[in-house]
Amino acid sequence: MPIAFKQVSYEYSPGTPFAYDALKNVSVEISLGKVTAIIGSTGSGKTTLVQHLNALLLPSKGEVEVLDRVILSSEKPKQLKSLRQQVGLVFQFPEYQLFEETIIKDVMFGPLNFGIEKEEALLRSMHALTVVGLDETFAEKSPLDLSGGQKRRVAIAGILAIDPNVLVLDEPTAGLDPQGSKSMMSLFMKMNRDYGKTVLIVTHDMEHVLNYCDEVIVLNQGSVVLKTDVKSFFRDEKLLDELNICPPKIVSMRRKLNDRGLHLDEGIVDVATLAKEIAGRVK
């Protein structure tokens, strides 16, 4: 059973002068077992959309199917907790959610809340810390002693330790330096490729979409404009222009070279392949 939005609308502050339709009649399916990027300009509804996946928000209209559960607008879904154990949501700038005395305690907070036994929680947490690249020496440190990037990794470990089937990340690389960004994205891809998790990433970075994601969903002003696979997405020049999307550099260069008549294959998505192709053509 996939993840699906069926004619979902969401209104903030209904009945007040600030009422605002963040999502308008959205219907889209999210493929399990893939890395899906959710893109759109600020205010397009991306964060609102993903917060429906673990029932932080309930739809004003329509229904959301998540794994084996249906979330309706009218009813308060019982057992929200078990849903939140299966769909792990990492907010933007998650380093702000750390609060425990030590890092290991903070990472264990999530699993313990979901009723996992202490020993098991400890094992999972130590493992999660290793996965995000922090070794045992970090376990007893205070979260406040860490750098921003390290804190973020602790926060993510906190969600990984819950071992959700679906991982949703809202702009996980915001404010990170280039290296930090790359290792973060690699981590998420690993979650998908090695651990089979369904990964959803809300992002602005087209390079990341190209390099790490399988599918992409485009939102604009509360509506889903498009859902397609990444390669096809970046092949369509007109579409990218229409959506006002700045393509990854490799795509721009490929385009410019093709404009000059080089007939490069549109499947070329990285520098190495481009260089090989060009080198192959040199007389």
Partner 1 sequence: MKQVEVKNLRFSYDDEVDAVKNVSFSVEKGTYTCIIGHNGSGKSTIAKLLIGLIDRNEGEIMIDGIVLTDKTIYDVRNKIGIVFQNPDNQFIGSTVKDDIAFGLENHQVDPAKMDEIIHHFAKEVNMIDYLENEPTRLSGGQKQRVAIAGVLAMRPDILILDEATSMLDPKGKEEVNALVDRIHEAHDMTIISITHDIEEVIKSDQVFVMNEGEIVMQGCPNDVLVHADKLIEMALDVPFTVKVALELKKYGIDVDMTMDMERMVEQLCQLPLSK
Partner 2 sequence: MANIALGRYMPLNSLIHRMDPRAKILSMLIMLTAIFIPSGFMGYGILAVVIIGVVLMSKLKLNFLIRAMKPMMFMLTFLMVINIFVIKTGYLVVDIFGFKIYSDAIFQTLYISVRLMLMIMITTILTATTKPLDLTLGIEDLLAPFKRFKVPAHEIAMMISIALRFIPTLIEETDRIMKAQASRGVDLQEGKFKEKIMAILSLIVPLFVSSFQRAEDLADAMEARGYIPQARRTRYKQLKRTPKDVVLIISSFSMLALMIAISIWR
Binding-site ranges for partner 1 (CB under 8 A):
41-42, 147-149, 174-180, 204, 246, 249-250, 252-253, 256-257, 260-263, 271-272, 274-276, 278-279, 281-283
How far is 190 from 204, CA to CA, in rounded Å? 20
Nearer to partner 2, 89 or 219 (CB): 89
Determine, following the binding rule CB under 8 A, whether residue 94 of this chain makes contact with partner 2: yes
Determine, following the binding rule CB under 8 A, whether residue 118 of this chain makes contact with partner 2: no
Residue 221 CB contacts under 8 Å (≥ 6 apart), including other chains: 24, 43, 44, 45
Q: Which two tokens stand for residue 205?
A: 């970075």
How far is 221 from 16, CA to CA, in rounded Å? 20
204 binds, among partner 1, partner 2, none (CB under 5 to 8 A by kind): partner 1
In 3D, which of 261, 269, 128, 125 has the Cα closest to residue 209?
A: 269
Determine, following the binding rule CB under 8 A, whether residue 150 of this chain makes contact with partner 2: no
Q: How far is the CB of 186 from partner 1 (least distance, A)?
A: 13
Q: How far is the CB of 224 from partner 1 (least distance, A)?
A: 19
CB 251 within 8 A of CB 207: no
- Start-to-end Cα distance in the chain: 53
CB 5 within 8 A of CB 26: yes
Of 35, 37, 49, 98, which one interacts with partner 2 (CB under 8 A)? Answer: 98
How far is 69 from 200, CA to CA, in rounded Å? 18
222 binds, among partner 2, partner 1, none (CB under 5 to 8 A by kind): none
Site track for partner 2 across 22-61, x = CB under 8 A: -----------------------------x--x-x-----
Cα 216 to its chain centre, rounded Å, is 11
69 binds, among partner 1, partner 2, none (CB under 5 to 8 A by kind): none
Element spanning 235, H or E = helix 230-235
Q: Which ranges of 166-229 would DSSP assign to H, the alpha helix?
A: 178-193, 206-212
Determine, following the binding rule CB under 8 A, whether residue 169 of this chain makes contact with partner 2: no
Q: How far is the CB of 148 from partner 2 (least distance, A)?
A: 10
Nearer to partner 2, 2 or 115 (CB): 115
Determine, following the binding rule CB under 8 A, whether residue 12 of this chain makes contact with partner 2: no
CB 124 within 8 A of CB 132: no
Helix axes 118-131, 148-160, angle to 10 degrees: 130
- 55-74 residues in contact with partner 2 (CB under 8 A) are 56
The residue ranges that bind partner 2 (CB under 8 A) are 51, 54, 56, 80-81, 84-85, 88-91, 94, 96-99, 109-110, 113-114, 144, 158-159, 162
